[in-house]
């Protein structure tokens, strides 16, 4: 199971190396000329892949501490399957956050998806329609948040916090604050069906991550999302319709959250009105920790996937060590603070000194190169 993850990371690494040679050794031919050793060193630098080092440390610790349970294939199989939903929500949240909106309603959006699909199924709506409608509900929530932010001009934190509370009420109303049970047969396949030993949600997550990675990193739409998140004013002045970009980002986040919610309902065979809010913190922690990985401080899909699993491994290990029940909260909270702190630390000018020191040298080198050419 671990291998699956590592291959993922390598795919990302080689990909990152080709597009972010920021610490250029030779400014003349920035991309191609770097020897692979230099690129590799950059890729495996602690700063670029702290989560992987964290993973290695935790792996060693838990292997020594609780070897009987931690080192079994079933633990890892269930980890990859069970955490796929968290990871999926996190990956969906990357899009609005990259566009500059921290969607605090993401947890309750998951909860909404979970109860809406259950209510529809119990009301004997065909499975396909129930799925489509609950995804549409997620989209509608994203659109509502967007209206609040861009048209009512409410700051995004407050707007999404308010939406979150509205959704909490909606979830209670739809479910009557009860678990919605007696779902029709066949629906549980979505969340529990197995393929090569892993459940469907894992593959669904990978597919969604691939799509979002493609959009964010490879298409004009993604470029516009990052530009909007980078500076909304500058993006507007570059002719980007930032309002549309935000709509797309929030709707994407809403739909993915709703998808995660319905997968949960399928896994549990019940629409649980309490599942949503618990996702908010681990997911935000994963996105922010993920932003410190691979892409030099930029929110990105694969960093988030890795971060989500690394955090999950930590929580799992602590659970296996039979520590008290409050440990996951403690761990996730600490990880969030650490991740955001780490991101701020990267951005601090002081930490760029190595770079700045090298700048004059690069300038001289460039000048010398020009002379050679001329």
Regarding 63 and contact with other proteins (CB under 8 A), the answer is no
Tokens of 288: 């922010």
Whether 330 and 339 have beta carbons less than 8 Å apart is answered as no
Bridge partners for 198 per DSSP: 195
Of residues 53, 323, 351, 352, which one binds other proteins by CB under 8 A? 352
* Number of neighbouring beta carbons within 10 Å of residue 73: 9
Q: What are the two backbone dihedrals, phi and then psi, of residue 251, each rounded to the nearest 5 degrees? A: -65, -40
Nearer to other proteins (CB atom), residue 14 or residue 238 = 238
Regarding 346 and contact with other proteins (CB under 8 A), the answer is no
Nearer to other proteins (CB atom), residue 26 or residue 82 = 26
Tell me the closest approach of the beta carbon of residue 356 to other proteins, in angstroms: 8
Tell me the closest approach of the beta carbon of residue 239 to other proteins, in angstroms: 4
Span from 101-109, 137-145, 301-309, 360-368 in contact with other proteins (CB under 8 A)? 360-368
d(CA 273, CA 114): 7
Whether 253 and 307 have beta carbons less than 8 Å apart is answered as no
Please, what's the largest Cα pairwise distance for the chain? 80
Bridge partners for 109 per DSSP: none
The C-alpha angle with vertex 102 and arms to 216 and 80, in degrees rounded to 5, equals 65
Tell me the closest approach of the beta carbon of residue 316 to other proteins, in angstroms: 34
Of residues 231, 330, 333, 368, which one binds other proteins by CB under 8 A? 231
Give the binding-site size for other proteins (rule: CB under 8 A). Answer: 39
- Which of these, 291, 303, 299, 294, lies nearest to 338 by C-alpha position? 291
Of residues 128, 152, 237, 325, which one binds other proteins by CB under 8 A? 237
Tell me the closest approach of the beta carbon of residue 73 to other proteins, in angstroms: 38
* Number of neighbouring beta carbons within 10 Å of residue 26: 16
Of residues 6, 126, 218, 329, which one binds other proteins by CB under 8 A? 218
Find where tokens 């300038």 sit.
363
Whether 139 and 255 have beta carbons less than 8 Å apart is answered as yes
- Which of these, 174, 180, 188, 177, lies nearest to 118 by C-alpha position? 180
Whether 261 and 92 have beta carbons less than 8 Å apart is answered as no
Whether 246 and 146 have beta carbons less than 8 Å apart is answered as yes
Span from 53-61, 146-154, 181-189, 363-371 in contact with other proteins (CB under 8 A)? 363-371
d(CA 257, CA 114): 9
Of residues 162, 277, 278, 296, which one binds other proteins by CB under 8 A? 296
Span from 127-135, 139-147, 149-157, 238-246 in contact with other proteins (CB under 8 A)? 238-246
Of residues 40, 140, 166, 221, which one binds other proteins by CB under 8 A? 221
Cβ within 8 Å of residue 101, ≥6 positions away: 145, 149, 156, 160, 246, 249, 250
Span from 71-79, 82-90, 131-139, 291-299 in contact with other proteins (CB under 8 A)? 291-299
Residues in the chain: 374
Binding mask 161-200 for other proteins (x = CB under 8 A): ----------------------------------------
Nearer to other proteins (CB atom), residue 20 or residue 69 = 20
- Which of these, 338, 348, 293, 288, lies nearest to 98 by C-alpha position? 288
Of residues 176, 337, 363, 368, which one binds other proteins by CB under 8 A? 363
Binding mask 16-35 for other proteins (x = CB under 8 A): ---xxxx-x--xx-xx----
d(CA 296, CA 143): 30
Of residues 298, 307, 335, 342, which one binds other proteins by CB under 8 A? 298
Span from 45-53, 62-70, 231-239, 269-277 in contact with other proteins (CB under 8 A)? 231-239
Span from 179-187, 215-223, 248-256, 257-265 in contact with other proteins (CB under 8 A)? 215-223
Tokens of 166: 């509205």
Q: At what angle do helices 327-347 and 280-291 cross, to 10 degrees?
A: 30
Regarding 239 and contact with other proteins (CB under 8 A), the answer is yes
Regarding 353 and contact with other proteins (CB under 8 A), the answer is no
Give the footprint of other proteins on this chain (CB under 8 A): 19-22, 24, 27-28, 30-31, 215, 218-221, 223-224, 226-227, 230-231, 233-241, 296-298, 352, 355, 362-363, 365-367
């Amino acid at each position: 199971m671990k291998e699956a993850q590592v291959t993922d990371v390598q795919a990302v690494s080689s990909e990152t190396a080709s597009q972010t040679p920021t610490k250029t050794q030779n400014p003349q031919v920035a991309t191609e000329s770097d020897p692979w050793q230099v690129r590799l060193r950059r890729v495996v630098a602690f700063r670029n892949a702290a989560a992987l080092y964290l993973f290695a440390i935790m792996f060693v610790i838990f292997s020594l501490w609780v070897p009987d349970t931690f080192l079994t294939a079933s633990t890892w199989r269930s980890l990859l399957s069970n955490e796929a939903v968290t990871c999926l929500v996190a990956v969906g949240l990357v899009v609005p956050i990259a566009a500059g909106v921290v969607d605090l309603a993401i947890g309750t959006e998951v909860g909404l998806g979970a109860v809406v699909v259950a209510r529809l199924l119990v009301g004997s709506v065909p499975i396909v329609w129930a799925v489509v409608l609950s995804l549409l509900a997620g989209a509608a929530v994203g659109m509502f948040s967007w209206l609040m932010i861009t048209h009512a001009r409410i700051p995004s934190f407050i707007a999404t916090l308010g939406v979150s509370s509205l959704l909490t009420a909606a979830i209670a109303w739809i479910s009557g604050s009860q678990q919605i049970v007696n779902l029709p047969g066949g629906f549980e396949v979505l969340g529990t069906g197995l393929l090569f030993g892993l459940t469907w949600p894992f593959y669904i997550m990978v597919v969604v991550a691939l799509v979002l990675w493609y959009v964010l990193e490879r298409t004009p739409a993604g470029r516009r999302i990052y530009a909007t998140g980078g500076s909304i004013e500058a993006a507007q002045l570059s002719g980007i319709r930032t309002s549309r970009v935000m709509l797309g980002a929030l709707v994407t986040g809403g739909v993915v959250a709703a998808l995660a919610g319905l997968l949960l309902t399928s896994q549990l065979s019940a629409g649980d009105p309490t599942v949503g809010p618990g996702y908010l913190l681990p997911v935000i922690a994963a996105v922010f920790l993920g932003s410190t990985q691979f892409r030099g401080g930029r929110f990105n899909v694969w960093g988030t996937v890795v971060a989500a699993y690394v955090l999950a491994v930590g929580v799992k290990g602590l659970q296996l060590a039979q520590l008290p029940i409050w440990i996951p909260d403690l761990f996730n909270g600490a990880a969030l603070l650490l991740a955001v702190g780490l991101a701020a630390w990267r951005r601090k000018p002081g930490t760029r000194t190595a770079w700045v020191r090298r700048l004059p040298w690069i300038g001289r080198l460039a000048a010398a190169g020009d002379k050679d050419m001329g």
